[in-house]
Amino acid sequence: MSTSTSAGPPASSAPRPSPRSGDAPAWDAGAVVVVGAGIAGLACARSLRDGGLDVVVLDRGRSPGGRLGLRRTGKGTDAERVVDVGASYAVPRATSFTALAESWRARGVTGPWTDTLLAVSRDDGGRVTSTPKPGPVRWSAPGGLRSLTDDLAEALAGDGVPVREHDVRRVDRDAAGALSVDGHPCRAVVLAMPEPQAVRLVGPGLSEETADLRDRAWTPVITVWARWDEAWWPAMDGAFVSGSPAVEFVADDGRRRGDGAPVLVAHSTPQLARDHLGDPPAAVAPVLAELGALLGRGEAPAPVETGAQRWTFARPDGGRPETSRLSRGLGVCGDGWGERPGVEQAWLSGTELGGRLAAEVAGASPRT
C-alpha cells in the first residue's frame, strides 16, 4: 500500500494546465493586487477587470485552486486520476452563479451529481443506521472541482491577467495611507483567503483595521482518501455522518466524478483533525477503521493507496452578515463571508467585492 500526505495547499493535478507566469515582478502602482487564486480571488479579479482596472493575481501555489484541492491516485500508471480532497461539491442557488454553472455544464466542465445523500448515524452503543437525505442538487466535475478555477484563470489570462506564482509575505499601509504588497506600491489589495491567513499577512499599518478579523474561530478538517482494487461498500453517492468520533462526511469519488473508480474520500470530525494537525497521516488509520463500521463492512479491507490533506481553516464557526469587507482599498473575501460557506459563496463574495472595489477606485461610492 502506498501513502501520500499534504499539510499545505494541494499541488497541481488539474486535467489541463492553467496559465502562470514566473515569480511576481513589481507592478504598476495603479494596479489592484489580488492575493489568492481560489474561486473568490479569481471571481474578484474578473469583476475588477470587467471594471476596466489593471489587475495582478498572486498565489503561492503552482496552480490556481485554493480550497478546491486535488490529489492523484495511481501515479505513473494508466489508471492515474485526480481525487477531490477539498470542497466536496458545488450547489448553484443564486441566479448569477447558476448562470455560470450552466455555462460550465455546456462546455463539459461541471454538471449535476446527486440530490440525495445518506444520513448515517452511530449511537453510543455503536449501532449504525442509514436513511436517504434528499436535498439540493450537488454539482461535481469530471476533471475535479479545480477545473472551475482553471476555467476562470484561463479566461482572465485571455484578458491579460495571468496568475503569478508568488508567496506574499507582507501587505501594509504606510503613514500616508498608501498600500503595498511585499514593498511594491499598489492602488488596492484583495486578500482572498480565510481570515486567519489574511491577518497573518498584514503589517502594523493594517493591524487596527483588521483586528476584528481575528475574533472568529475556524474549524479544522483532515481529508482522508483511499483507493481499492474494487469497491467493498454499498452503492451510494455520499453520506453525512453523525455520532462518529472520526468521520463527518464521506463521498464515493468514482460516482461523484462519473468514472466508477473505487475511491472513497472522507472528511474528519473537528476533534480528530485537532488531534492530528501536526501529523495528518496519523488520521488515516482511525478514519478508515470508522468507514468500515459506518458502511457495513465491520472492518474495511486494506486499500492499495491512501492520502491525507490537512485543512487548518476548513470552515468558520458561524457566518457573517457581510459578503466581504472593504476598507480604504483593502478588501477581504472568501467562502467564509455570508451565511452559507461553499463554492457558490466564494464566487459571490469575490464578485461582490470586485464590483465595490472597482467603483471605489473609479471614484464612485461603494455599492452596498
Residue 17 scores a pLDDT above 60: no
Out of 57-66, 126-135, 208-217, 357-366, which region has the weakest mean confidence (pLDDT)?
357-366
Residue 79 scores a pLDDT above 80: no
* Nearest by Cα to 53 from 28, 26, 29, 31: 31
Greater confidence (67 vs 225) lies with 225
Across the chain, what does the average pLDDT equal? 90
Task: Give, in order, the Cα–Cα distances in Å from 57 to each of 160, 234, 335, 348.
Answer: 11, 44, 18, 18
User: Rounded to two decimals, what is the model's pTM?
Assistant: 0.90
Burial (Cβ within 10 Å: 0-12, 13-18, ≥19) of residue 213: middle
Q: What is the largest CA-CA distance in the chain?
A: 65
Kindly state the cell numbers that stand for 345.
459563496
Report the percentage of the chain scoring pLDDT > 70.
90
What pLDDT score was predicted for residue 12? 35
What pLDDT score was predicted for residue 366? 43
DSSP designation for 8: S
Strand runs labelled E in 36-99: 55-59, 70-73, 81-84
Tens-digit pLDDT profile for residues 253-271:
999 999 999 999 999 999 9
What pLDDT score was predicted for residue 76? 64
Greater confidence (14 vs 246) lies with 246
Residue 6 scores a pLDDT above 50: no
Tens-digit pLDDT profile for residues 311-332:
999 999 988 889 999 999 999 9
Residue 45 scores a pLDDT above 60: yes
- The Cα 58–Cα 62 span in angstroms is 11
Kindly state the cell numbers that stand for 329.
482599498
Q: CB-based contacts of 31: which residues, under 8 Å, 6+ apart?
A: 53, 54, 55, 56, 186, 187
Report the percentage of the chain scoring pLDDT > 90.
79
Tens-digit pLDDT profile for residues 85-109:
999 999 999 999 999 999 999 999 9
Greater confidence (66 vs 298) lies with 66
Residue 248 scores a pLDDT above 80: yes
